[in-house]
């Protein structure tokens, strides 16, 4: 079965599942949900989710998920996702998550549990639900924090997670601690190595992830700190030692929700350590960072306006990228080390099941671009514009 037929099969299954959920009495505790979206992306230059300078339609997401509460102590849940995103993802259906959630103990004031399987990582405000278009603040998440170009590395983990909640009159405190194998693909390899060194990247050991959150009553205020420590190695035989990469990806998050508007801001730090790449590349010891401020305003039912400004840097000690350009003898231009993005978007909830979106972005720099889609860094344009529209359906 080729990829087009697989995509069609998943879409057909989504529609059939919607009909089954509407017409048949499902077993007690079983829920079925699904979504599908199609986007069109046009850029003034540079490729983003396909051949966007010529207007790309290669931005499609189809998901089918189920959850089954077998008992008060055990929940099974999973999702199959087909995601086409230009050259970064070909749309082949994959298991997005599949887990067993076990309640270890539960009281009125607190609860603790354990999850096993392929787990969505609780990182920042949006990572757990980043596959569902209806949960996004815009068509695209803030790219300087939620990089699409290395999406799979931080999206999910195959392992185990402990989670707990403490319920108090002033709000809810929740925490998670997880460990497991990260998911590494060619997008991660291209982003971390920039095509300079041959060979594949693989996990060196289990990743460790943790989060701590506070939610006020009715979730008017959300504050959180979350992070992941990821250890990788490269299969490269020019030296006796395998090159090593150590990443610490962490996000500080804050959100305020009023009746008609929400204000969100996040800061991401990404210390990067590269060892034993000699003689091709010197050891690296630098920290990437990204941050944004975002306002969503509900004009009137069913319209919502989004305004966001974000900045991201490959090396916070080299924000203008001049050192990077000098060290690479001009092979990596200075503007490839940073991105400054101003976004304006409009959401229209046509009905309970349908949503339409449009978004405009003004970019300065090309840090957020995928190296898979834009392999020649010297051809990146520093100043570029993006315009996108999206239609989404759910049941």
pLDDT digits (tens, 9 = 90+) for 4-57: 555 555 555 555 555 555 545 567 789 999 999 999 999 999 999 999 999 999
Residue with tokens 């339409």: 356
Chain centre distance of CA 96: 12
- Number of domains within the chain: 1
What is the CATH classification number for the domain harbouring 326? 2.40.160.10
pLDDT digits (tens, 9 = 90+) for 300-315: 889 999 999 999 999 9
When pLDDT is averaged across residues 149-177 and rounded to a whole number, the result is 95
What's the mean pLDDT when you consider all of the chain? 90
Which residues does 356 contact at the CB level (< 8 Å), separation at least 6? 347, 348, 350, 389, 390, 391, 392
Q: What is residue 142's predicted lDDT score, i.e. its pLDDT?
A: 98
Q: What is residue 2's predicted lDDT score, i.e. its pLDDT?
A: 52
Query: Contact, 216 vs 241, CB < 8 A?
Result: no
Q: How far apart are CA 342 and CA 363, in angstroms?
A: 7
Confidence band (pLDDT; 50, 70, 90) for 372? very high
Question: Read out DSSP for 112-126?
Answer: EEEEEEEEE---TTT
Confidence band (pLDDT; 50, 70, 90) for 243? confident
Whether 1 has a pLDDT exceeding 50, the answer reads: no
Domain with 279 in it? 3-394
Question: Read out DSSP for 150-189?
Answer: GHHHHHEEEEEEEEEEEEETTEEEEEEEEEEEEP--HHHH
Using CA atoms, how far residue 26 sits from 10, 35, 69, 72, in Å, is: 20, 19, 12, 18
Whether 283 has a pLDDT exceeding 80, the answer reads: no
Task: Show the tokens assigned to 100.
Answer: 């067993």
Which residues does 102 contact at the CB level (< 8 Å), separation at least 6? 73, 74, 113, 114, 115, 116
* Most confidently predicted of 134-138, 301-305, 344-348: 344-348
Confidence band (pLDDT; 50, 70, 90) for 241? low
Q: What is residue 4's predicted lDDT score, i.e. its pLDDT?
A: 54
**SS3 state of residue 375:** coil
């Amino acid at each position: 079965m080729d990829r087009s037929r697989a995509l069609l099969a998943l879409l057909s299954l989504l529609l059939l599942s919607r009909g089954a959920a509407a017409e048949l009495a499902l077993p007690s505790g079983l829920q079925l949900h699904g979504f599908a979206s199609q986007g069109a992306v046009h850029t003034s230059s540079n490729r983003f989710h396909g051949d966007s300078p010529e207007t790309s339609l290669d931005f499609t997401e189809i998901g089918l998920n189920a959850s089954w509460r077998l008992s008060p102590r055990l929940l099974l849940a999973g999702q199959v996702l087909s995601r086409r995103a230009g050259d970064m993802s070909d749309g082949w259906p994959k298991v997005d998550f599949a887990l067993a959630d076990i309640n270890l103990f539960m009281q009125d004031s607190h609860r603790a549990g354990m999850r096993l399987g392929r787990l969505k990582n609780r990182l920042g405000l949006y990572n757990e639900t980043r596959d569902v278009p209806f949960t996004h603040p815009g068509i695209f998440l803030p790219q300087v924090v939620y990089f699409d170009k290395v999406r799979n590395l931080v999206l999910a983990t195959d392992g185990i997670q402990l989670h707990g909640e403490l319920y108090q009159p002033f709000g809810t405190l929740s925490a998670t601690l997880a460990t497991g194998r990260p998911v590494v693909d060619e997008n991660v390899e291209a982003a971390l190595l920039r095509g300079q060194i041959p060979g594949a990247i693989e996990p060196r050991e289990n990743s460790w992830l943790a989060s701590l959150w506070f939610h006020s009553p009715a979730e008017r205020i959300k504050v959180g700190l979350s992070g992941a420590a990821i250890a990788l190695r490269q299969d490269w035989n020019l030296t006796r030692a395998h090159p090593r990469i150590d990443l610490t990806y962490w996000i500080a998050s804050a959100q305020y929700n009023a009746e008609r508007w929400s204000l969100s801001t996040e800061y991401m730090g990404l210390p990067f350590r590269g060892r034993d790449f000699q003689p091709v590349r010197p050891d690296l010891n630098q920290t990437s960072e990204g941050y944004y401020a975002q306002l969503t305003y509900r004009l009137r039912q069913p319209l919502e306006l989004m305004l966001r400004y974000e900045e991201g840097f490959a090396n916070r000690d080299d924000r203008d990228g001049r050192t990077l350009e000098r060290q690479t003898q001009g092979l990596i231009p200075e503007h490839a080390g940073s991105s400054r993005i101003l976004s304006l978007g409009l959401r229209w909830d046509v009905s309970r099941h349908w949503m339409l979106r449009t978004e405009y972005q003004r970019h300065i720099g090309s840090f957020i671009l995928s190296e898979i889609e834009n392999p020649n860094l010297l051809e990146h344009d520093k100043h570029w514009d993006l315009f996108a529209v999206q239609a989404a359906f759910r049941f």
